[in-house]
Structure 1
Amino acid sequence: FFPPQHLDDDTVSGSNWIKENNDQPSLSQTTKITRKPYCGYEQQTLSKREQVEQESLLAAIQWPKPPDGKIAFVQSTDPVHSDFAIVRPSRFFKVGDQLEVLVRMKDFQGKPKQYGGDYLQARIHSPLLKAGATGRIVDCHNGLYKVFFTLLWPGEVKVSVTLVHPSEAIQVLLRLREERPDRVYFKSSFKSGRYSETTECNVCLPGDLPVCNFTDLYTGEPWFCYKPRKLSCASRISHAKGGYQKGLLTQEESLFFQSDVNIKRPILSRGPDSVIVKPRPFTDSSSMDRAEDPTVSPSGYFYEDHWRPRTHWIHHFNKSDDISKCLQGKVIHLFGDSTIRQWFEYLTAVVPDLVEFNLGSPKNVGPFMSVDLKHNILLKFRCHGPPIRFTTVFSSELRYIANELNGIVGGRNTVIAITIWSHFSTFPVEVYIRRLRNIRRSIIQLLDRSPKTLIIIRTANVQELGPEVSLFNSDWYSLQLDSVMRKMFSGIAVHFVDAWEMSLAHYLPHNLHPKEVIVRNQIDAFLSYVCPLQT
């Protein structure tokens, strides 16, 4: 985004959000799309390797488009007219088998859809067993979708398929992501003596008013605020969420975002919606679900409300003593948004000797710290740098994860957990790729100097969606970012807690901040990396 000579400027001129620039090289032929550069500022200067990686990441998350031209609401996907069928539902199923489901999409006139691009979520579940797992969805690009499930437990197993957004709504979300990255705005307060001013801030700002350049000197992460009329840029004291822009959609577009019509609506079956699964004969079922491939889908499943990963053994830390023993002598750094702050809150609440030390930080914002003197445990939480939609964060406490990692010595008693996703959903994906590239570089350097440091990434999770939330924080945005994150962090020595599948496989309603039973399972997965079971 920014050439080095801009980094020290106190004030630079603002520019337009989107600016056509025909000199920009389009992405490689594989992506078959030309993109407008984000903002009129000079784009990121990427090395050849970074450019290739970015193009391949953007190509990997490309979403199928409906045919050109305006599509009327009645021709958009209707979950009520759509249906699914289990392929050969009466055949003999045993644990470990694949179950295939065919989904047929239709519009509001009952006509079959001829193109793909709808966003679906699917799960199998057995309510009495409190068991659940997610499915793998394949878009056939003709109005048909195949869903593949691995049957992981015996008993009656029910199939559920949900339309999260019709393909026509996804095109609106794509447009907003590229054209309206200002739809969540931020503000900063500037103060000198008794005089204060508040101005708007963002990754970049529209218009030609003078701006304060708060681009980070070390990571090059861009951040700008409009310059106060009387005060200097150096007088900034705080950062906060400003608000959400209204009036983003045309009347026709708003029809694609209706709670009881086409946002997270069930698609019903046109036949049996469950199968009977027999136990696998003559095998130790506990060894069956240890898959060798870490990219296996699904990554795990719930059984009796306990998460069972398929790639490694998990230990359920049911007693607070077990958690204390596991974390004894450790320093645990939690970096990210409110979904990892839940880990801080859970551990502080559950472990009696872990007592929060009052740092005088704003509620829900941090930084926070808990100390267990008896077991020599230090637990810390700090939010990631802007963009972050928190209420007031002191400017002095605005830190980028990459810079924080550079200040950690590391070693066998250092545990680091990171999550970063939700606050990036309103920006073009390149903004997120840049942030992850900086974090990844710092992780690799930390592991080079202290290979025994344990680093865990908490993925994104699904959440409750309505017409407004969808435009800012849709699961579809989160899915796109999560896919990028998994690709960028694969192949380096980090571990994943799959909060995405945990939130999707569980029977509880989707929630940006999952309920305690799900957080407990996330913590079990996290602690199982810290203190692996001896097998």
Structure 2
Amino acid sequence: MVTSLGTWRTLNRSIDLGWVTDAKYTSLEIVNTKQTYHVGDILVLEVVARDGYKRRKMYGGDYFRAVLRDKSQTASTTGTVRDHGNGLYTISFLLSFPGCVFPALYRPFWNTPLLPVINGTIIVSDVDENTTVTQSLPFCRLGVPHQQPEGYWLQDTWHSLSCKVGQFRTPDITKCLTNRSVHFRGDSTIRQWVERLIKWNIVEKGPGNGLIGPYACSNHSTGTIVTFNFHTVPIQTVSWFPLNLGEAGISTEVRSMVGGPNVVIILSLCSHFTAEPKRVYTSRMYDVRSAIQELHKKYPETRVIVKTCNTRNHRHYRELVQMSDWLSVQINQEMRSIMEDLNITILDVWDMTVSQRYRHDIHPNQRVQDYQLDILMSHICPDMVKKG
């Protein structure tokens, strides 16, 4: 975001990339330096953005991703970035686990992350070396507040800071979904969850297009029904799909569903909307909101779960312009502002994918997917999560 597009133009009207924030001249410094930090402390850093001409930026709008890592423990967490609107940014990290940590700042177009100049190592300690901040979390039920960060990785395992998440193996998921109907509606980031359930033989796929649906999966011995259908247009893809533009969208489907205490509806409208004007997404989500309200008037016990966006790869220009994480952040914010006061669960996977050690992809590594399913199952069957 710039104050005047004209300032980015040279005399021949080409874009002067020297005005872009440059990692070589942007500084990152720790504000609250200590010899030793403790679990639960906040580590604060300050970013001063400068362009390719070494000039201090006098406006905000840069999109940064801040990650704190301890590679020896395969541990990481995200930082909260505050844009002061004048080229100054403040980053806050909740120190969630003991160890030797190091912060890094990432931005699109930067080949390498920006690292602070530090003498020595940032040590996070506690009386008990196994102490973390995941103490006395509530179970994953309606009304659990959004946390920043949502969690952290430790020993390549995701630990939620919002609610108590269990580890669901195949028998656990089978038990959780027994006598339930679970309807997945939206994009491929939740279709991949259905595909995991099929791979683990929890349900068997029925006929239908495997990419866009509609199709139903079932397990007659457990009484489990799982369905999937794509959210219709808009669609961003390099392949052609046989979309019927006359098909009912998610809102129409939700309004016509028969709900109940054993019915779960999981929605994801994100990645295909990033190239559209914001008003397109806003209008669609208000229609979905209205449909959920109508459903809950008839079937108040129906559980509705809405998934946030996750990060993606940026391999080429089209993905940077039309599908960037910067656009996904705005969609997440808009979705929360429209939906969070409803009697629903917002399943937030953003921080999990920002801080992952795997390559960013719209379809994350299977290990990440499995931890997303752990969160999902912990919301569907919180009573199956151990109290310890």
TM-score (norm 2): 0.89
- When structure 1 is superposed on structure 2, of 65-74 and 338-347 the one drifting more is 65-74
1:264 to partner: Cα distance:
6.5
Q: Which residue of 2 aligns with 1:429?
A: 278
What SS is found at the alignment partner of 2:64? strand
Whether the 8 Å CA contact 1:159–1:273 is kept in 2: the answer is: no
Contact kept, 8 Å, 2:64 with 2:106, in 1: the verdict is yes
Whether the aligned pair in 1 keeps the contact of 2:232 and 2:245 (CA below 8 Å) is no
Q: Give the counterpart of 1:98 among 24, 42, 56.
A: 42
1:518 aligns with 2:365: no
After superposition, give the CA deviation of every residue in 1:459-496 in whole Å (9 maximum; x if it has no partner): 00111113221111111111111110011111111112
Equivalent pair of 2:96/2:133 in contact (CA under 8 Å): no
Return the match for 1:310 from 161, 186, 200. 161
Report whether the alignment pairs 1:69 with 2:6.
yes
User: Cα distance, 1:93 vs. partner?
Assistant: 0.8
Distance in structure 1 (CA, Å) of the matches to 2:194 and 2:317: 31
The change in CA–CA distance for 1:293 and 1:264 in structure 2 (over 3 A counts) is farther
Q: How far 1:101 sits from its partner (Å)?
A: 0.8
Spell out, residue by residue over 1:276-311, the C-alpha distance to the aligned partner (whole angstroms, 9 max, x if none): 111266997565373897132112122222222212
1:358 aligns with 2:207: yes
Q: Which amino acid aligns with 2:220?
A: L
Conserved? CA contact 2:97–2:133, under 8 Å: no
The aligned residue for residue 461 of structure 1 is 310
- Structure 1: which 5+ residue stretches go unaligned? 1-63, 165-261
Compared with structure 1, are the counterparts of its residues 378 and 163 closer, same or farther at alpha carbon in structure 2 (3 Å cutoff)?
same
Q: In 2, Cα distance between the equivalents of 1:79 and 1:452? A: 51
Against the structure 1 CA distance between its residues 284 and 502, is the aligned structure 2 distance closer, same or farther, given a 3 Å change threshold?
A: closer
Note the 1:266-415 alignment, pairs <5 A.
266-272=113-119, 274-279=121-126, 285=132, 288=135, 290=137, 294-317=145-168, 319-350=169-200, 352-359=201-208, 361=209, 363-389=210-236, 391-395=240-244, 398-415=247-264
In the aligned structure 1, how far is the partner of 2:353 from the partner of 2:157? 13
Partner of 1:28 in structure 2? Answer: none
How far the C-alpha of 1:145 sits from its partner, in A, is 1.0
RMSD: 2.3
Query: Is contact 1:89-1:274 (8 Å) kept?
Result: no
2:79 aligned partner = 135
Tell me the residue number matched to 2:92: 148
Find the aligned partners of 1:483 and 1:274 in 2 and give their Cα distance.
Answer: 35
Aligned CA distance change for structure 1 residues 284 and 513 (closer, same or farther; 3 Å): closer
**Which residue is equivalent to 2:290?**
441
Give the partner amino acid of 1:69.
G
| Maintained 8 Å contact 2:144/2:163 | no
In structure 2, the partner of 1:416 is 265
* 8 Å Cα contact 1:414/1:454 also seen in 2: yes
Amino acid of the residue matched to residue 344 of structure 1? V
Gaps of 5+ in 2: 9-15
Aligned pairs, how many?
A: 371
CA pair 284-479 structure 1, distance change in 2 beyond 3 A: closer
Q: State the 1:122 CA deviation.
A: 0.5
Aligned-partner SS, 2:232 = coil
Give the match for residue 491 of structure 1: 341
Cα distance in 1, alignment partners of residues 206 and 370 from structure 2:
23
Deviation, 1:88, is 3.6
The residue identity in structure 2 corresponding to 1:308 is: H
Alignment partner of 1:527 is 2:374: no
Structure number with greater Rg is 1
TM-score, structure 1 as length reference:
0.65
Pair 1:502–1:284, CA change in 2 (3 A)? closer
Q: C-alpha separation between the residues in 2 aligned to 1:497 and 1:134? A: 17
Letter of the 2:203 partner, please give it.
L
Q: Distance in 2 between matches of 1:273 and 1:421?
A: 41
Counterpart of 1:26 in structure 2 is none
> Could you give the per-residue CA deviations for residues 62-109 of structure 1, whole angstroms, max 9, x where no partner exists?
xx6435632232232111222311224333311111000111212212
The alignment partner of 2:281 has SS state of helix
Helix, strand or coil for the counterpart of 1:119? coil
Asked if 2 retains the 8 angstrom alpha-carbon contact of 1:354 and 1:370, the reply is: yes
CA distance change for structure 1 residues 272 and 474 in 2, over 3 Å: closer, same or farther?
A: farther
